[in-house]
Structure 1
Amino acid sequence: MKMTSIKMKKILEERFQNPDWRTSFNRDKDIFRVEWKDTKQGISITVPNVVAKYEQRGEAAVADLEYHVKEALKIMNVEHVLTGKEKNIFPVIRATSFPKKTKSGMKLIYSDHTAETRIYYALDLGSTYKLIDEEMLEKEGWTMDRIREISIFNVRSLETNPKIDTVADNDFYFVGAQDGYDASRILNESLLEEMKANSKGELAVAVPHQDVLIFADIQNDTGYDILAQMTMKFFAEGRVPITSLPFIYEDKKLEPIFILAKNRPTEPKNTKGDE
C-alpha cells in the first residue's frame, strides 16, 4: 500500500509522543512540527521528503529521522557551557552560503576562510554537536581568539590516516575518519605543509562535504580532470555538502580553482575584450 502524507503524519505522531512535547501538522504546507511545550523551540519536518525516503529505505528512514530529531530536541533543552569542555570544541567547515543565524535568530560565531568556505565552531556532545553562538560566548566571557585557538589546537590532535589511490600517475589521499571533523582537518596547517613537502607535483586540496578531506598530488594534466570529477561526485553525494571547487595549496594559502576538461585549472579573473 502506497505511503501518503496523512499516513506518515500518524506514524510521526506515534514516534514523537512525549508529555513535554507538542506536535502539530500544517496540511497546506505538509509540515509536521515537534516542539517543547514550555519554550516552543522545536523541529519542523517536511513530510513529503520523509515519504520519499520511506519509499526508498522503508522503516530505516523513519528510525533515522526519529533518532536525529530527538537528539536535536534534547540539545535544544539543555543549557550548554564551554568552560570545562575545552577539549570538546572544534572548528567545522561550511559553505559561505551556510546561515549565519540559527532558526531561532541566534547569531552563530564564525571566521572567514576562503572565497568558498567559512569556519564555524562547535561544541561536541558525543553523538552530535552544537554550533556555538554569540550568546554562549558572552555568557562565559570568552573571546573569538580563545575559541579559535582552542578549536585549532583540538583539530591538530585528531588522527589523520589517509588512504591512497594512484590514478594515471597522480596520487590521491582520502581522509575519512567519520568523526564529523574530516573536512575540518584542512585547518591543520602542519598537515598541509607535510603533504606539500612530500608531493612530487602540485598539491591540491578538496573538501566536497563534511565527512571527507582529499589531497591530490597532481603530476600531469589528467590529474586535474580526475580531481574535478571526483570532487563533484563527492559534493553531490555528501550529507553536508561544502564546495565542489578544489583548492591549490601554495605559499600557505588555499586558492579555489575552476578545472576545465583537459585543461589546467584557472583562477577566475577579470578580462577586457579587444577594442
Structure 2
Amino acid sequence: MTMTSIKLKKILETRLSNPNYRTSYNREKDRFRIEWKQSKQGITITMPNVIAKYNERGEAAIEELIEHITEALRIMNETHHLIGMEKNIYPVIRSTSFPIETKSGKKLMYTDHTAETRVFYALDLGKSYRLIDEALLEKEEWSKDRLHEIALFNVRALPTKYKADRVVENDFYFIATQDGYDASRILNEAFLEEMKANSKGELAISVPHQDVLILADIQNQTGYDVLAQMTMKFFAEGRIPVTSLSFIYENKKLEPIFILAKNRPQKHKK
C-alpha cells in the first residue's frame, strides 16, 4: 500500500480512538497532533517522517509509533513521585543544545558536564522515562545535590559489559545494552579509572548518541582517525544524538578534542 498523509491520519485516528483524546491535523505543516482533552498535553507527529519509516519497515513502523504515542500519553497523565522511586532515578547525557525546558514551560533539572554535554535526570517508568523537572523536585522537597547523588549511585550499579574490537593495533570497547543509559556510563568514574589503568596508550571516550558508549585505547596516530570515523557514523545514526566529538580521559577529567586526520588531536576551545 502506498502511504499518504491522509491515509496515515485515518490509521492514527482509528488506532488511537479514545474519548479522552483530541486529535487534529495541520495540512499546511503536515503534522498530526494527539492530546489529552483536559490537560491539552500531547504529542505532535511529523507525517513525512513516519511515512519514510513506513516505506522502509512497513506495518512494524506504525506499530512502533502507536506504542510510543500510547506510552507517552500515559506518562503525561500520571502523577509521579521521587520518594519511593529512588532506585529508578538515572542520569542521562544530552548535548548542550538540548532544551532545558519542556514544551509546557517547566524547567528541567540538569548539571553541566563538559563543554559539549549536560547531565539531565530521568525517572525510569519501565518502557520509557520522564525527565525530572524543577516542579517535581520542589514538590518532593528534594535538593538538586540529592538528586545528582542518587542518580550517580544508580548508574554505578549498571553493568559495564562491553564488546571489544582491535583495529590497526588500537583497542576499542563498545557498551550498547539498549537500556537507555549506555552513554550515562561515562559518569561511572570507577569504571573509567579501571579502563584507564588497563590502557596501554591514551584513553579516549565518545558518546555519539544516547545508546552507546565507546572507549578507545589509542596506541598510535591512526587510532584517532578510526575513532573519529566511528564516532561520526554513530552520531549520524543515533536516535538521540549527543556529540560527534570525543574526549581524552586524563586525571579524572574529560577534555573535548577535535580529531584531525593524520594529526594528533587538538584540544577543543570555546
1:203-222 correspondence to structure 2 within 5 Å:
203-222=203-222
- Do the aligned partners of 2:137 and 2:143 also contact (CA within 8 Å) in 1? yes
Q: Secondary structure at the match of 1:81?
A: coil
Q: Which runs of 4+ in 1 moved over 3 A?
A: none
Aligned-partner Cα distance in 2 for 1:27–1:204? 47
Instruction: Quote the residue 1:245 is aligned against.
Output: 245
* 2:197 counterpart SS class: helix
Shift of residue 5 of structure 1? 1.0
State the distance in 1 between where 2:3 and 2:128 align: 30
The aligned counterpart of 1:152 is 152
Aligned-partner residue type, residue 196 of structure 1: K
Deviation at 1:248, TM superposition (A): 0.2
TM-score, normalised to structure 1's length?
A: 0.96
Contact 2:256 2:268 survives alignment (8 Å) = no
Paired position in structure 2 for 1:54: 54
Identity of aligned residues (%): 71
Report deviation, 1:2.
Answer: 2.5
- Say which SS state the counterpart of residue 257 (structure 1) adopts: strand
Matched residue type, 1:26: N
Letter in structure 2 aligned against 1:84: G
SS of residue matched to 2:267:
coil
How far does the alpha carbon of each residue in 1:150-189 deviate from its partner, in whole angstroms, 9 at most, with x for none? 0000000011111110111100011111110010000000
CA, structure 1 residues 6+235, in 2 after alignment: closer, same or farther (shift >3 Å)? same
For 1:196-229, what per-residue CA distance to the aligned partner results, in whole angstroms no more than 9, with x for missing partners?
1000000001101111111100000010000000
Cα root mean square deviation, aligned? 1.0
Unpaired segments ≥5 residues, structure 2: none
Matching residue of 1:126: 126
TM-score (norm 2): 0.98
- Identify unmatched segments of 5+ residues in structure 1: 271-275
- Return the offset for 1:113: 0.1
SS in 1 for 2:266: coil
Match of 2:90 in 1: 90
Say whether 1:177 aligns with 2:177.
Answer: yes
Is 1:263 matched up with 2:237? no
Instruction: Kindly state the Cα deviation for residue 269 of structure 1 after the two structures are TM-superposed.
Output: 5.1
Match of 1:26 in 2: 26
Q: Map Cα deviations across residues 73-120 of structure 1 (whole Å, 9 max, x no partner).
A: 000000100000000000000000000011111100000000000000
Question: How far off is 1:7 after superposition?
Answer: 1.2
